[in-house]
Chain A
Amino acid sequence: MFDEKVLQKIQAGKDNWDQGPLAKSLSKSPEAKPVFTTISGTPVQRLYTPLDIKELDYDIDLGYPGTFPFTRGVQPTMYRGRFWTMRQYAGFGDARSTNERYRYLLKQGQTGLSVAFQLPTQAGYDSDHPLSMGEVGKVGVAIDHIDDMKTLFDQIPLDKVTTSMTMNAPAGVLLAMYLAIAQEQGVSWDKVGGTVQNDVLKEIICRGQYIYPPKQTMRLTVDLIEFCQKNVPKWNSISISGYHIRESGSTAGQEMAFTIADGIAYTQACIERGMAVDSFAPRLSFFFNAFTNVLEEVAKFRAGRRYWAKVMKERFKAKDPRSMMLRYHVQTGGVTLTAQQPLNNIVRVALQSYATALGGAQSLHTNSYDEALCLPTQQAVTVALRTQQIVAEESGATDTIDPLAGCYYVENMTDRIEAEIDDYIKKIDAMGGTLAAIEQGYIQKEIQNSSYRFQKEIESGERIYVGINRYTMEEPPPTGLLKVDMSVGEIKAAELRNYRAQRDQAKWKAALDKLRQVSATNENVMPYVVEAVKAKATVGEICDVWRGVFGEYRPKEFI
């Protein structure tokens, strides 16, 4: 970006400063610590100048918003056209109480829904399964069948809101229920918008809600993508997630690198299915974390956008620019929240939201300050939503596109993170691809090493965390925490007995038999899943059909 002469002049000026004012200042008072690093452990220089981005070529590396390589954003007007979608992840207890929370959030100006399902549903068990004991309605809403889903979206028009569903191994089952309800509401599938997470690889890497072995679960993932491409064109058929990779201990660079590695694996699998890259890639979406180190996060998002665009163009020969766009949702960092002095978390979330806005996300969930302690109370959820509204309306971050472009530090860090991503992708390719790297435990071990380093830094006091190892105080135990009614489990169990007894048994059995038969072939299962949920088959029953056909995944543990 700078010609040789300008750089020489800057180099001379920098040398003078190094030897003059800087040396003098350092001799009088040294800096607070010998090395400064980001929370990811990346060293940070004292000062960044044009000398640190001298390789940067504006047209090639940055370009313009909405054009390749999308470093500056995926849309030409970004937030000047419309803010990101404000989408709070919510769900607890039964469908009725969660429906009330959704309608409250929509009334408060939230623009999209995001369903938190209970763990039994995510793991493909009904609420009355022995493994569901104690878990029903605990960390998400209990959804066992299509009638639960109908209650969940009661009085919510599915052509007006978009819905994101954090559902992975059984993603097709919950999507089928959603689509069936849309039909009942008279909304055709081409008008239904939303996202299913459908990212089973990261379940195996770090999130733990897997059911089937990698190959078989990937087949279901691709079935869903293919089905949506043909029938639900506005649906984001996967949300390739780095969020949980980061939560489980990775650095910012690893988060982006391993997510892109997963993205490559899904793209490859879809192409192997016979789909043309530009037929499905525009509907691949992503999901990332945002930590408190604002500038590192912004660099991560920019680096990810640029790298993904190149992967799609160069590796997969995509032609449609929309195939090259890294469109993503962000959730602020759950693991950055402290149980100690919980109100401090409001500040963390504000900084993380600011990073998200400066980084150019398409939607955002802001965590509530009490989430290190419980599911969020209504008050905490409201503050969280207001936090992103303040960032959107008051901070000015939304007035201009990619405002940190050209910042010597951010551009340097963007390059560095992109190089880190490239390094990991090359290593993973050399191992035989993402699935092989996961099977060898490589990705898991890399994440665990970072998690271990961070813990050691905290315990040695090398890294300061407010309220944890500095500025601590005695506090009374927190009060006013949200408690989920434990009776949901018993109520659901009784309701399920009734539900199973009252449905049309012949229709139900025929639908499951057909699904079982098709699952053993190469045919896309999705149309049969839609029929099964309409015939009142439960989540657990459908997942059991696949357990029978595919077997269950038992991971190796890498410590």
Chain B
Amino acid sequence: MARKIKMIMAKPGLDGHDRGAKLLARIFAEAGMEVVYTGLRQTPEMIVSAAEQEDADVVGLSSLSGVHNYFFPRVVELMKEKGLDDVLLVGGGGGIIPEEDYDSLKKSGMAAIFGPGTPTTEIVSFIENNVRKR
């Protein structure tokens, strides 16, 4: 049997808005992934260490307090330092992540930023199509 996709859902920073993160965690689990939700107040170091410990294939970052430009690239950087380059990094934060930030976040190493109104099915298929194969 194929190994399940292992996913870390993470909330970087002090933002408490976790409705989306929890909802997606449930939807990813229903789609057959193995999901670990980190809970709130994660530093980039904590997120990367969770990814390493869990041998995650995907890390999802959710931020609605406007700190994505600080936190997302920092997670990418630390992942690289740990040699976790092949872990898929995706993020979202509704309309609070303006479209004008997408390019720079992707350039920094995020595989995708999902904007407001993205159907969850689209997020699931993006992950399934782009996750590393083992």
A-side residues, CB < 8 A to B, are 119-120, 122-123, 125, 130-135, 138-139, 203, 206-209, 247-249, 335, 338-340, 372-375, 448, 451-452, 455, 459, 468, 477-478, 481, 484, 554-555, 557, 559
Q: Is the Cβ of B66 less than 8 Å from the Cβ of A139? A: yes
Contact A340 B116 (CB under 8 A): yes
Q: What number of B residues sit within 8 Å (CB to CB) of A?
A: 37
Are A451 and B19 in contact (CB-based, < 8 A)? yes
On chain B, the residues within 8 Å of A203 by CB distance are 16
Give the residue of B14, B26, B65, B67 whose beta carbon is less than 8 angstroms from that of A448: B26
In the complex, identify which listed stretch (B36-44, B47-55, B75-83, B104-112) lies at the interface while the others stay far away: B36-44
Which of A130, A138, A247, A335 touches B67 (beta carbons < 8 Å)? A138
User: Nearest CB to that of A481 among chain B residues?
Assistant: B98
Docked pose: A122 CA to B40 CA in angstroms: 14
Contact, CB under 8 Å: B117 / A468: yes
User: What is B's interface to A at a CB cutoff of 8 Å?
Assistant: 13-19, 22-23, 25-27, 29, 35, 37, 39-41, 43, 65-67, 69-71, 94-96, 98-100, 115-117, 119-121
Which of A125, A130, A455 has most B Cβ within 10 Å? A455
Q: Interface SS of chain A: helix, strand, loop or mixed?
A: loop
A135-B14, A477-B99 are known contacts. Are A130 and B43 too (CB-CB below 8 A)?
yes
Known contacts A131-B43, A373-B96; decide if A448 and B22 are in contact (CB<8 Å).
yes
A459 near B121 with CB under 8 A, answer yes
Chain A's closest residue to B45 (CB) is A130
Query: Which residues of the partner chain A approach B121 to less than 8 Å between Cβ atoms?
Result: 459
Contact of B70 among A133, A554, A555, A559 (CB under 8 A): A133
* Inter-chain contact A138/B65, CB cutoff 8 Å: yes
Which of chain B's residues have a CB closer than 8 A to the CB of A559?
A: 22, 25-26, 29, 35, 37
Closest B residue to A556 by beta carbon equals B39
Q: Are A249 and B19 in contact (CB under 8 A)?
A: yes
B22 touches A207 (CB 8 A): no
Set of chain B residues within 8 Å of A135, measured between Cβ atoms: 13-14, 65, 67
Further pairs besides A135-B67, A451-B19: 19, Cβ < 8 Å: A119-B15, A125-B14, A131-B13, A131-B41, A134-B71, A139-B15, A139-B66, A209-B14, A338-B117, A372-B116, A373-B95, A451-B23, A459-B120, A477-B98, A477-B100, A484-B66, A555-B39, A559-B22, A559-B25
Determine the distance from Cα of A209 to Cα of B69 in the docked complex, in whole angstroms: 22
Give Cα A484–Cα B69 distance, bound, in whole angstroms. 13
Establish whether residues A459 and B66, one from each chain, have CB atoms under 8 Å apart when the complex forms.
Answer: no
Contacts of B25 in A (CB 8 A): 559
Which of these, A125, A209, A340, A557, contacts B39 with CB under 8 Å?
A557
Taking a contact as CB atoms closer than 8 A, the residue among A119, A340, A481, A555 that contacts B13 in the complex is A119
Give the residue name and chain of the B residue nearest to A123 (CB): B14
| Assembly CA distance A448 to B37 (angstroms) | 14
Q: How many Å from the CB of A337 to the closest CB on chain B?
A: 9
Cβ distance B129 to chain A, nearest Cβ, rounded Å: 19
Q: Which of B13, B22, B35, B96 contacts A134 (CB 8 A)?
A: B13
Q: How near does chain B come to A331, taking the closest CB pair, in angstroms?
A: 15
The 8 A-B pairs of least Cβ separation, nearest first, read: A208-B16, A339-B95, A134-B70, A119-B14, A339-B116, A134-B67, A372-B95, A373-B95
Q: Which residue on chain B has the smallest CB distance to residue A372?
A: B95
- Contact: B120 with A372, CB < 8 Å? no
Quick one: closest B residue to A469, CB to CB? Answer: B117
Please report the C-alpha to C-alpha distance between residue A468 and residue B119 in the assembled complex, in whole angstroms: 10
Q: What residues on B are CB-neighbors of A134 within 8 Å?
A: 13, 67, 69-71
CB atoms of A208 and B18 under 8 A apart: yes
With contact pairs A134-B70, A138-B67, A373-B95 given, residues A448 and B117 touching in the complex (Cβ less than 8 Å): no
Q: A138-B65, A339-B116, A373-B98 are in contact. Are A452 and B13 (CB under 8 A)?
A: no
Given contacts A339-B116, A559-B37, contact A139 B65 (CB under 8 A): yes
Q: How far is the CB of B31 from chain A (nearest CB, A)?
A: 13
Residues of B with C-beta under 8 A to A249: 19, 23
Cβ B41 vs Cβ A123 within 8 A: yes
Contact residue among B37, B40, B98, B116 (Cβ-Cβ distance under 8 Å from A208)? B40
